[in-house]
């Protein structure tokens, strides 16, 4: 099964490896991802995130609090974008579903109306129901008289 890792999983793994000290390689990150999440992510994406995290860690001009807030903001924006995309896909699927069934119902109604003698058949069936109801009532009355 193809499992896609979320960016925040990759970023947190990169941060932990970088904080551990020493040179962090893409292979080390992918190995840690496989151990933690059972997937390694796309190579280009993992290396890009590793570069971003390494640059952030090497920039001494930004305080740790600001960098942490920026990172949290970026993660929140990514999650919001993922949720927005998911909601748009769900809305599209729902609209397609509604359109499909509206067209199907309309097609069946038109097909029914286009049948020859549609109204005449309905009238004949209604008359038959009335006639059979009258016969049933007469039979019940006769049965009631004979059982007394």
Judgement on whether residues 51 and 2 belong to the same structural domain of the protein:
yes
Burial of 75 (0-12, 13-18, 19+ CB in 10 A): middle
DSSP annotation of 6 reads: P
pLDDT reported for residue 91: 97
Task: Provide mean pLDDT across the span 48-52.
Answer: 87
What would the two tokens of residue 21 be? 């000290």
Average pLDDT taken over every residue of the chain: 87
* Percent with pLDDT over 90 in the chain: 40
pLDDT reported for residue 124: 92
Higher pLDDT, 95 or 44: 95
pLDDT reported for residue 1: 43
Judgement on whether residues 82 and 38 belong to the same structural domain of the protein:
no
Task: Provide mean pLDDT across the span 18-36.
Answer: 86
- Domain with 79 in it: 63-114
Collapsed DSSP state (helix, strand, coil) of residue 86: helix
Judgement on whether residues 41 and 69 belong to the same structural domain of the protein:
no
What would the two tokens of residue 102 be? 């509206």
């Amino acid at each position: 099964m193809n499992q896609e890792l979320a960016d925040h999983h990759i970023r947190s793994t990169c941060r932990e490896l970088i904080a551990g000290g020493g040179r962090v390689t893409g292979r080390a990150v992918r190995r840690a991802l496989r151990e933690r999440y059972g997937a390694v992510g796309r190579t280009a994406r993992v290396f890009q995130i590793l570069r971003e995290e390494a640059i952030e860690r090497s920039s001494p001009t930004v305080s740790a609090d600001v960098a942490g807030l920026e990172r949290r903001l970026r993660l929140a924006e990514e999650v919001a974008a993922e949720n927005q995309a998911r909601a748009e896909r769900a809305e599209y699927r729902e609209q397609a579903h509604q359109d499909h069934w509206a067209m199907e119902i309309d097609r069946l109604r038109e097909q029914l109306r286009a049948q020859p003698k549609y109204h005449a058949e309905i009238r004949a069936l209604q008359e038959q129901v009335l006639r059979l109801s009258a016969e049933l009532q007469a039979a019940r009355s006769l049965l009631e008289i004979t059982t007394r």
